C-alpha cells in the first residue's frame, strides 16, 4: 500500500513538472510571437518613412538635419536590437516624426497634399498597430514573468534556465502622451 502511495505521488509530481515546463514553453513562445508582431509594425513604419520624407522634402528642403536624423533612426530601427534598444529607438522616432509634422504645419500646401495626407493616415494606423502589438507583447511578458517568479514553477524555470523577458516600454513620461497632430485643411 505504501508503495502505491509513493508511486501515486511520483506520478503527480512528474505530471506537475510536465505541466509547468509546457506552460513556461507556451508563454515563452507567446512572448516571441508578440515581439514578432511589434517587429512587423516597426518595419512597416520604417518602410513608410522614406515616402513621407520625400513628400515633405518637396516643400521644406531646408530641413536637412531633421531628415538626416529620421534616416538614422530608421536605419537603427531596421537593424533591430534588444527590446530596450528598439523601445528607445521607437521613442526617438516618434519624437522626430512629431518634429517633422510640426515642420509640415508651416506649409499649408503640404498639409493639403493628398499624398501627404495619405501617408499621415497610414502612419497613424501603423502607430495604432504598434500600440496594440505592444499591449499583446507586454501581456505575454507579464504572464511569462509571473510564471517564472511564482512558486513552485520558479523551480522548474530555474532548472531549465528560463529567463524573464523585458517589457516594451516608453521610458520618458512626456513621450507616453500621444501627440495630437491635425493635418486637415481648415
How far from the centroid of its chain's Cα atoms is residue 127's Cα? 10
The pLDDT tens digits along the chain (186 residues) read 788 999 999 999 999 999 999 999 999 999 999 999 999 999 999 999 998 888 888 888 788 888 889 999 999 999 988 998 999 998 999 899 988 888 888 888 888 888 888 988 999 999 999 999 999 999 999 999 999 999 999 999 999 999 999 999 876 555 455 555 555 554
Residue 115: its pLDDT value, please?
86
Residues 6+ apart with CB under 8 A from 87: 168, 169, 170, 171
Residue 113: its pLDDT value, please?
85
C-alpha 39/C-alpha 57 separation (Å) is 27
Residue 171: its pLDDT value, please?
60
Residue 186: its pLDDT value, please?
43
Predicted TM-score (pTM) of this structure? 0.80
Pick the CATH number of 20-176 from 3.30.530.20, 3.20.20.80, 1.10.260.40, 1.20.1440.20: 1.20.1440.20
Q: What is the DSSP string of 45-56?
A: HHHHHHHHHHHH
Amino acid at each position: 500500500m505504501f508503495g502505491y502511495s509513493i508511486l501515486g505521488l511520483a506520478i503527480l509530481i512528474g505530471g506537475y513538472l510536465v505541466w509547468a515546463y509546457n506552460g513556461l514553453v507556451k508563454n515563452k513562445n507567446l512572448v516571441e510571437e508578440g515581439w514578432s508582431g511589434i517587429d512587423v509594425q516597426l518595419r512597416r513604419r520604417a518602410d513608410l518613412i522614406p515616402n513621407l520624407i520625400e513628400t515633405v522634402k518637396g516643400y521644406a528642403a531646408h530641413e536637412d538635419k531633421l531628415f538626416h536624423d529620421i534616416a538614422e533612426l530608421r536605419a537603427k530601427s531596421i537593424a533591430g536590437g534588444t527590446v530596450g534598444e528598439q523601445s528607445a529607438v521607437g521613442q526617438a522616432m516618434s519624437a522626430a516624426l512629431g518634429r517633422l509634422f510640426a515642420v509640415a504645419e508651416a506649409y499649408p500646401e503640404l498639409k493639403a497634399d493628398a499624398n501627404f495626407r495619405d501617408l499621415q493616415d497610414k502612419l497613424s494606423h501603423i502607430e495604432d498597430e504598434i500600440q496594440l502589438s505592444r499591449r499583446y507583447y507586454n501581456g505575454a511578458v507579464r504572464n511569462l514573468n509571473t510564471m517564472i517568479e511564482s512558486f513552485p514553477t520558479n523551480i522548474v524555470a530555474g532548472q531549465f534556465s528560463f529567463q524573464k523577458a523585458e517589457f516594451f516600454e516608453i521610458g520618458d513620461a512626456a513621450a507616453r502622451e500621444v501627440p495630437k497632430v491635425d493635418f486637415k485643411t481648415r
